[in-house]
Structure 1
């Protein structure tokens, strides 16, 4: 997708808009911002390159209030100006933003729900943001619930609802892999091939942002992405 195509399609993916905040449905396979490496600048545009299409009359484009991985789809929050960003940063840092992800994983958890409580640290400083379970790392907790399961592609698959209580890099991907049920399509922590795999089956399904203390949180859902539809449906979605 070119930068112009992204600028055209991004307003169509708007899920919520007010004077402080936008929530967009981020497509899978596009980074939210460009990295420092030359390859990152050669592999197509980053999402933020098209944020000027979301100004809606304000003097500056919105900016990222948090991050999603390149291959993760779904709810992405943007602040429309500096004061709004400061408020959103504070809410995310304080853990007051409720996030719900959908994932299709290889294998099947024991039980219907649970809590993963495994600290995470950098795997290798030379490998960028790759993470690992590390007793000396930062605390990381994820609640999970089984939404459905099935035999898919000749193997057991489960559809999970994941609720991160902390916001560590690659937390959901590392936690699921550490439990023995890596996310389908994960070429870093799972079994997917580096190229030509099914795409990461991780989707930021819903988010709830308590912008106004006297009002209910702004709650938004993103539709399931096309590349996850077949395996989700096999596991009971829809």
Structure 2
């Protein structure tokens, strides 16, 4: 559990940014290492400095960074700067808007841009750009202006943004009812043998690493998640696939493809930055390393987005080009696989 308090700012005040409850199966672990598994983009030095300053608490007592977190411990981290809710500042950041009218817009987000402010990313996000572009965006249930859905920082592609309360409610219902269309292009490790298939398995936070999601196939935890995939092209050690979302859970495609043994190429969070398929030849390792450099992120692009317009009732469908870094990596694998056949 992670909550954020909202105290009013006063001189010298500390803001509680994170609160976590250790699970009942928690093995004793240093609090700095424990927090590294929970707080995205937080360095160990930053956490250790917070502990040194007396800003890390366990069960309402200040602890040092070598404190061992145990089952059911409540861990809190405080910082002098406010949480991201206080920092929704308009910034003049260029947006690739592919469609816009009075009630919504569709934007093509580049890889590397964070969608909304959070720990370690208080500026330069899509929301900072959106609130500069459009006044009075409605807020969703998480108080994030305009957002109906989101994609990860290092995933590129299409997002729809609501400009009115009515549009947000209408679009959110389409996503909830699974009537929206979302197709992603992914390059994954291994040869996906089936031409097409469906992955069904609840997705929830990994109890051992809160920065990862985890598949709970028996449905005992997490939320329902369904991903339909289709092979587009095979390159031997990697496969290009199309993934269509029936649901939209955090990291859904990334964790579902890993679950079936096909981790996304260069997906560092889920182990895809290592050579998972192929030979032990030095030349092959060099080839893969060079391809990682061409595509220094997970190989995932939100290519197609479809929905019903909230006002006109028109079915709208948008398609985007796969970005250059990903097409370069695909072409490199295509060339490699053709040479291997010859």
Work out which of the two has the higher radius of gyration on C-alpha atoms and give 1 or 2: 2
CA contact (8 A) 1:79 1:85 kept: yes
Aligned-pair CA distance for 1:71: 1.0
Q: Cα deviation per residue 1:152-209 (whole Å; 9 max; x = unaligned)?
A: xxxx11110000111111110001111111111211113316x977211100000101
SS of the aligned residue for 1:85 comes to helix
User: Matches of 1:111 and 1:213 in 2, distance apart?
Assistant: 41
Alpha-carbon distance change, 129 to 217 in structure 1, aligned in 2, over 3 angstroms: farther
1:24-68, Cα deviation, whole Å (9 max, x unpaired): 001111110011x3x233xx521110113432xxx4246111111
Partner residue of 1:192? Answer: 273
Q: Could you say what secondary structure the match of 1:71 adopts?
A: coil
**In the alignment, structure 1 residue 205 sits paired with structure 2 residue 303:** yes
Select 2:114's aligned residue among 19, 28, 31. Answer: 31
Match of 1:143 in 2: 228
RMSD across aligned positions (CA): 2.4
Which protein, 1 or 2, shows the higher relative CO under an 8 Å CA cutoff with sep ≥ 6? Answer: 1
Aligned to 1:130: 212
Residue-pair matches, total: 217
- CA shift digits 1:77-101 (9 cap, x unpaired): 1001222111111111111111000
- Which residue of 128, 140, 145 corresponds with 1:49? 128
Given the alignment, which residue of 154, 157, 163 partners 2:238? 157
Question: What is the CA deviation profile of residues 116-144 of structure 1, one whole-angstrom value per residue up to 9, with x for unaligned ones?
Answer: 112222212x7445211112132211100
Point out where structure 2 has 5 or more consecutive residues left out of the alignment: 1-88, 138-144, 275-291, 335-342
Q: Is the 1:146–1:161 Cα contact (8 Å) retained in structure 2?
A: yes
The Cα shift of 1:217 comes to 1.4
Q: Distance in 2 between matches of 1:224 and 1:53?
A: 27
CA distance in structure 2 between the aligned counterparts of 1:27 and 1:89, rounded to whole angstroms: 23
Using a 3 Å threshold, how does the CA distance of structure 1 residues 85 and 129 change in structure 2: closer, same or farther? farther
Distance 2:233 2:125 in 1: 34
* Distance (Å, rounded) in 1 between the aligned partners of 2:113 and 2:215: 27
Structure 1: runs of 5 or more not aligned: none
